[in-house]
Structure 1
């Protein structure tokens, strides 16, 4: 079921509303040293970062501690509530598909969040995120390696990709200055999960 107003998947949002504390306990203390470093090393000190699908604020807190100004985007009201409590930062209670910023941020971070965006909405959502970035802005996002769209028993929608699908979208764009990619294992130790990591620098 998709929210007719936002394009976001309501069953996925409901999962995070009903399981916010449990999900927070399972993921808040994860350390993403390599993605964090690859992302922040490309952003000027004290720059502005937009965390898309910020969850309970783990990555927001890390970036704030490094001296960045950070705002979050989180469609789950309960997760957004946790993120505000944890960071004291602005968290926009909207989905990635609803982002409406223009040339405001030096970096956009979407860790394991765009995988909940349907394939039919992905390109449009990508456009909105790129529009939010300033010139030479940096966009990090991670997706699960795989094929097709899956609705899990818990209700969440997952859209899988391969490297070529994303590269085809990114490198053909006139606003792409550079693309850096790598694969990684799952931080939660799921042996069957591989992640695709992308860093796009905007012209």
Structure 2
């Protein structure tokens, strides 16, 4: 997350309730992502939330580094994952060619649009050559806030595709599906996968 106080405050203040919400594990997306990686690959998770995705990836034998921007969320996630969660904001990512994959399910959607190119460049740098980057966003045409005051960048597929091309990604895959969110409202989801060129 970026320094957006209402968004950060929501997760800090509601950590226990948020991580225990009724959330379906995105197993099909996780498996599709993991199947692109070598066995035991190193994975960085950006915005691990309650830790369910990290726990699943670990159960599959992958070397997962879970991170979250909220100390309170990270503390809750550690209880499920059974390993430390690094408290770090996206703009603090400084790793260089450490990971085979980066998983960012419903987390980068809180990054303000002008900040996204820089964050994507940091992610690109953190991946090994040929590494895979997965992320999901709430689809839309204009940035805004939800009923809880959380900021969303609400990206269109065209906008995201142009950003990925301009920041050097290859083998870009985008798709949209209907679903829901924490606010209980119908949500159009935009999901992406891209590769760091070898």
User: TM-score if structure 1 supplies the norm length?
Assistant: 0.90
| Structure 2 residue ranges without an equivalent (≥5) | none
Quote the residue 1:24 is aligned against: 19
Does 1:92 find its partner at 2:82? Answer: no
In structure 1, what is the Cα distance between the partners aligned to 2:120 and 2:143? 18
More deviation, 156-165/176-185: 176-185
> Does the 8 Å CA contact 1:136/1:201 hold for their aligned counterparts?
yes
| Structure 1 residue ranges without an equivalent (≥5) | 1-5
Report how far residue 136 of structure 1 moved.
0.8
> Does the 8 Å CA contact 2:2/2:90 hold for their aligned counterparts?
no
Three-state SS of the structure 1 residue aligned to 2:21 is: helix
In structure 2, what is the Cα distance between the partners aligned to 1:89 and 1:105? 18
Quote the residue 1:184 is aligned against: 177
Three-state SS of the structure 2 residue aligned to 1:26 is: coil
> Does the 8 Å CA contact 2:180/2:186 hold for their aligned counterparts?
no
Structure 2 counterpart of 1:198, from 189, 192, 197:
192
Report how far residue 138 of structure 1 moved.
0.4
> Does the 8 Å CA contact 1:8/1:97 hold for their aligned counterparts?
no
Three-state SS of the structure 2 residue aligned to 1:171 is: helix
Three-state SS of the structure 1 residue aligned to 2:20 is: helix
Quote the residue 2:68 is aligned against: 74
Quote the residue 1:101 is aligned against: 95
Q: Kindly report which structure 2 residues correspond to 1:26-175, keeping only aligned pairs within 5 A, or say none.
A: 26-27=21-22, 29-174=23-168
User: TM-score if structure 2 supplies the norm length?
Assistant: 0.92
For residues 48-86 of structure 1, the C-alpha deviation after alignment (integer angstroms, 9 at most, x for no partner) is 000101111111001000000111121111100011221
What is the number of residues matched between the two proteins?
Answer: 196
Three-state SS of the structure 2 residue aligned to 1:71 is: strand
Q: Aligned-residue CA RMSD in angstroms?
A: 1.8
Change (3 A) 1:79 1:191: closer
For residues 94-143 of structure 1, the C-alpha deviation after alignment (integer angstroms, 9 at most, x for no partner) is 11122111100000000010110000101101111111100110000001
